[in-house]
Amino acid sequence: MSAKMVTAGVLLIGDELLSGRTRDINLSYLAKFLGEMGIQVREARVIPDVDETIVATLNEMRARFDYVFTTGGIGPTHDDITADAVAHAFGVGIDHHPEAMALLTAHYARTGAEFNDSRRRMARIPHGASLIPNAVSVAPGFQIGNVFVMAGVPMVMQSMMDAVAARLEGGARMLSRTVGAAMGEGQIAEKLGALQARYPDISIGSYPYYRGTVFGTNLVLRGTDSDLLDAAEAELMTLIRTFGVEPVRVSPE
């Protein structure tokens, strides 16, 4: 594998994720989106809207990964403290950004809603950051260093990622093959371990499923070399057939 590995950390910010009120759907979206660009998410963290927690976690993650993507906490209310915390983490000031102010002024003029102090908070951007456009609700995210700060509302976050994509440098693209087998994973586990040992450059995952009274196993092969994946997939299908089970290629996954 000659192409380099590019890594990312995801930081999901918001009390509502830790109370169970909101179930996150941003991590899986980001993981897939980035994976298709050859950027591997290596860790995600879910933390509350607490300044010192955001600062410490962000500083640790931005040192460890090529990119960090945050979601949540950039709206107009008192609990939206992410922009200030990111400024603290980078040790820079924060102020109303002229371009963000212009965007929001035009937006509120169009809608007729008042552009009040709270809404002006959404134009507060750390010094040195560049804006990330938001095609859904206008208030921008921002990039500072290797950190991309985005909204928590999935539709808005997804619109921001469309704008962010052009700024990212991808690496070796991770490819995958999924094969389903109507058998318990415990039945195939030993031979699967042997297959994994023969293909150290491929990661083989085994995921049992239960659908009512039916159970089975999805086997996922992941790697960056498509020829190697084809060879491992062919061996895996032969292996499943030795148990008298017909493998099912699950695609796309």
Residues that bind a copy of itself (CB under 8 A): 10, 15-25, 27-33, 35, 40-49, 53, 75-80, 113-114, 116-119, 121-122, 136-137, 153, 155, 174, 176, 184-187, 189-190, 192-193, 196, 203-208, 210, 220, 222, 253
With contact defined as beta carbons under 8 Å apart, do 71 and 157 qualify? yes
Q: What residue type is assigned to position 200 of the chain?
A: P
Is the CB of 61 or the CB of 87 nearer to a copy of itself?
61
Is the CB of 122 or the CB of 132 nearer to a copy of itself?
122
Q: How far is the CB of 190 from a copy of itself (least distance, A)?
A: 5
Q: How far is the CB of 153 from a copy of itself (least distance, A)?
A: 6
| Whole-number Å distance between alpha carbons of 138 and 145 | 22
- What phi, psi does 75 have (nearest 5°)? -85, -165
Both tokens assigned to 196: 């994994």
Tally of helices (H runs) and strands (E runs) in the chain: 9, 12
Is the CB of 93 or the CB of 252 nearer to a copy of itself?
252
Is the CB of 39 or the CB of 144 nearer to a copy of itself?
39
Is the CB of 185 or the CB of 225 nearer to a copy of itself?
185
With contact defined as beta carbons under 8 Å apart, do 80 and 50 qualify? no
Q: How far is the CB of 41 from a copy of itself (least distance, A)?
A: 5
Run of H or E residues at 209: strand 203-211
Q: How far is the CB of 35 from a copy of itself (least distance, A)?
A: 6
Q: How far is the CB of 193 from a copy of itself (least distance, A)?
A: 4
Residue 115, number of CB atoms within 10 A of its CB: 16
Q: How far is the CB of 23 from a copy of itself (least distance, A)?
A: 4
Is the sign of the CA dihedral 30, 35, 39, 41 positive or negative? Answer: positive
Is the CB of 143 or the CB of 159 nearer to a copy of itself?
159
Q: How far is the CB of 15 from a copy of itself (least distance, A)?
A: 6
Bridge partners for 156 per DSSP: none
- What phi, psi does 88 have (nearest 5°)? -60, -45
Q: 36-48 burial string, b = 16+ CB within 10 Å, else e?
A: ebbbbbeebeebe
Is the CB of 10 or the CB of 129 nearer to a copy of itself?
10
| Whole-number Å distance between alpha carbons of 201 and 223 | 7
